[in-house]
Chain A
């Protein structure tokens, strides 16, 4: 075995750099997840430019058309229904939360399905020391990163529009990320179980669009009939919208903020718990 191709001589004298498995400690889990994150970052290197353009374009279009265009009409009608602020100021934080939801669901449906069904890169990952839960958490880290990027870009555009009324708007960034994660973790937990991608279109059409329209993004849910309002209160998007709006307008109170954050965090945690199981079941056949 003198001129072997095997990287480190199997029979070698010194301990060559061998693969480093890790103990099942919490720190080990993070290190494993970070290895999978690196995969997604490498993958993202091909598409990051385009994704940044669309992350900038989308708030420009929405805030321009709805905030300024439609907003002028709304404001002419009186601002009482919006709590005395301009429509642009009302709409912007709602769109921030809604955009986070869309980013989250976009990143956790086809990319996850493709990894388990088309490219099978998930199967490759679990042939290494990584476990299904590491693969899951690594992708969630990537989604959190994308949510942070998109929300920060959104807030920058919003600030340029003069649509943010309080320095507390900066705190809307982590809230928007958490809103996204409250969608990302359950959707990803479900997406990995799919054998076909047909149900994703259904989720977009009958899940995202109604949430987008009726969770207080475009108008206060007090405008909805009283009997349907409790449904809106249950949707994670409403909690994200409500808290982002309160922060952006500088009207947040601690109790309300804790309820919203608690609800979104609970959904995120539930999604992770379910996803740990569904990933395992799908990848350890």
Chain B
């Protein structure tokens, strides 16, 4: 990490790796990305958080130089993605939302083919493959066909493949969607290590825990627009309260209870289908106040605010809906 920053000064490389102004993507009459501004810096882990259809993947594909923008400006590593696509892509690592592995080939063959796409010498690919497979814990499967591997293993292989060209920016589109919790944690652990090494990560996710764990800075996207931007901590401080009191009532009294709660001193109250959320500074004090009103929730939970709360506040909807 220190070595990384120490050397940046020597190389006249831009610190802003991805720059966008008014970036737009339209498909026919549908606007998927609606004029967003971005400045992504070297070495940071940057996230796009939003529900399905928010425009995250379209943005990622434009950054990946496989989707020409419909409007606005975009430069990646100081180059134009339409004119200099091959030169930019030579320095990108891409983990697409859907696996694009050749399942008929072996683990090692997939890395070999992909390394050849970048024009790397065979010996270099062999050496890097060994190290990368070790990193993603697939060394013992190196000569196995990809088809029977689990979803988590395929994802890890895709991550290894994306690193074969020693990329300056690693793009990850929903890196853990569809994985079971244990497999997700393994992937997070590997991505966290890459981040510690100073690799610039750009990822999309609709998991707020993924965004909180991995991102130094993120934007909340909704309907093709950026709703807010900052570090996870900044976003929570700005758009939520330190604590949240979650109350669950008997469905028969859910609505009347929710109305009565309006008198409890809370910054904000969200009435969901199955729960009521009170945004407060002190959850325990708020719970005492609720009981003071004579309300007896079936369950109550005091927790810290999360990005999910930020998203709910900004859009009125939940992330995984």
Partner-B contacts on A (CB < 8 A): 1-2, 4-11, 16-22, 24, 31-32, 35-36, 38-39, 42-43, 46, 119-121, 123-131, 283-285
Contact = CB atoms under 8 A, between A and B. Distances in A.
Interface stretch (B48-56, B128-136, B271-279, B299-307): B128-136
Contacts of B135: 5
B87 A21 contact: yes
Contact of A1 (B1, B101, B165, B166): B1
B198 A127 contact: no
Given A127-B94, A129-B119, A42 B113 contact: yes
Contact of A124 (B68, B101, B119): B101
B199 A121 contact: no
Interface stretch (B3-11, B224-232, B246-254, B286-294): B3-11
Nearest to B133: A5
Contact of B119 (A4, A11, A19, A119): A19
B31 to A, nearest CB: 15
A284 B197 contact: no
Scoring A1, A11, A19, A131 by chain B CB atoms within 10 A of each residue's CB, the highest score goes to A19
Contacts of B105: 42-43
A123 B57 CA distance: 14
B243 interface: no
Interface stretch (B59-67, B179-187, B203-211, B313-321): B59-67
Interface of B: 1-4, 6-8, 61, 64, 66-68, 85-87, 89-92, 94, 96, 98-105, 109, 112-114, 116-121, 124, 127-128, 131-132, 134-135, 163-166, 168, 193-194, 197-199
Nearest to B161: A124
A19 B165 contact: yes
A17 B90 CA distance: 12
Given A42-B109, A129-B89, A285-B67, A7 B94 contact: no
Contact of B114 (A9, A32, A128, A284): A128
Given A11-B7, A39-B113, A43-B104, A127 B132 contact: no
Given A19-B91, A126-B66, A284-B67, 15 more contacts: A6-B163, A6-B166, A7-B163, A10-B4, A10-B166, A20-B90, A21-B89, A39-B117, A42-B105, A42-B112, A42-B113, A129-B118, A131-B85, A284-B66, A284-B68
Contacts of B2: 1
Given A16-B166, A42-B105, A1 B4 contact: yes
B100 A1 contact: no
Nearest to B6: A11
B104 A46 contact: yes
Contacts of B64: 127
Q: Give the residue among B7, B8, B118 with the most A Cβ atoms within 10 A.
A: B118
Given A5-B135, A16-B166, A21 B104 contact: no
Contact of A125 (B7, B61, B87, B117): B117
Which 5 A-B pairs give the minimum distances between C-beta atoms? Answer: A128-B117, A19-B118, A124-B100, A5-B135, A20-B119
A6 B197 contact: yes
Nearest to B85: A131
B134 A35 contact: no
29 contacts: A1-B1, A5-B197, A6-B163, A6-B166, A7-B124, A7-B127, A7-B132, A8-B166, A10-B4, A16-B166, A19-B90, A19-B118, A19-B165, A20-B118, A20-B120, A21-B86, A21-B119, A22-B86, A35-B116, A119-B102, A123-B100, A124-B96, A124-B101, A125-B117, A128-B90, A129-B87, A130-B86, A283-B66, A285-B66
B79 to A, nearest CB: 10
A5 B134 contact: yes
Contacts of A125: 117
A10 B94 contact: no
Contacts of B194: 5-6
B102 A35 contact: no
Contacts of A131: 85-86
A43 B110 CA distance: 10
A42 B105 CA distance: 8
A134 to B, nearest CB: 9
B115 to A, nearest CB: 9
Contacts of A24: 86
A53 to B, nearest CB: 20
